[in-house]
Amino acid sequence: MNTRSDDAQVAVIGGVDTHRATHHAVALNNLGLVLGDKEFPTTTAGYRDLLEWMSSFGVVARIGVESTGSYGAGLTRYLSAHGVRVIEVNQPHAHTRLRIGKSDPIDAEAAARKVLDGGLITQPKETTGVIEAIRVIRVARESAVKARSAALVQFQGLVITAPAELREFLSHQGTRANVTLASSWRPDVTRLEDPVQATKMALRTIARRVHTLDEEIALVDVQLDRLVAQGAPTLISRVGIGTQHAAQLLVTAGENIDRLTSEAAFARLCGVAPIPASSGQTHRMRLHRGGDRQANRSLHMIAVCRLRYDQRTIDYMARRQAEGLSKKDVLRCLKRFIAREVFHDLVIDLGKKGT
pLDDT in tens, 46-96: 999 999 999 999 999 999 998 888 899 999 999 999 999 999 987 665 566
Query: Which pLDDT band holds residue 126 (cuts at 50, 70, 90)?
Result: confident
Percentage of residues in the chain having pLDDT higher than 70: 92
Q: Are 80 and 126 in contact (CB under 8 A)?
A: yes
Residues in the chain: 355
Please give the model's pTM, rounded to 2 decimal places: 0.82
Amino acid identity of 320? R
- Average pLDDT score over the chain: 89
pLDDT of residue 98: 61
pLDDT of residue 300: 96
CA distances from 216 to 61, 148, 243 (A): 46, 10, 17
Half-sphere exposure of 238 (CA within 13 A, CB side): 24
* Model pLDDT for residues 167-184, shown as the tens digit of each residue: 888 877 789 999 999 999
Residue 6: pLDDT above 80? no
Calculate mean pLDDT across residues 101-113. Answer: 88
pLDDT of residue 5: 45
* Model pLDDT for residues 289-336, shown as the tens digit of each residue: 788 999 999 999 999 999 999 999 999 999 999 999 889 889 999 999
pLDDT of residue 2: 43
pLDDT of residue 97: 62
Calculate mean pLDDT across residues 186-209. Answer: 94
pLDDT of residue 239: 94
Show Cβ contacts of residue 64 under 8 Å, excluding neighbours closer than 6 positions. 13, 14, 15, 16, 86, 87, 88, 89, 111, 112, 114, 115, 120
Query: Which pLDDT band holds residue 121 (cuts at 50, 70, 90)?
Result: low
pLDDT of residue 93: 59
How close are the terminal C-alpha atoms of the chain, in Å? 44
CATH of domain 7-117: 3.30.420.40
Calculate mean pLDDT across residues 23-47. Answer: 94
Strands in 79-234 per DSSP E: 85-89
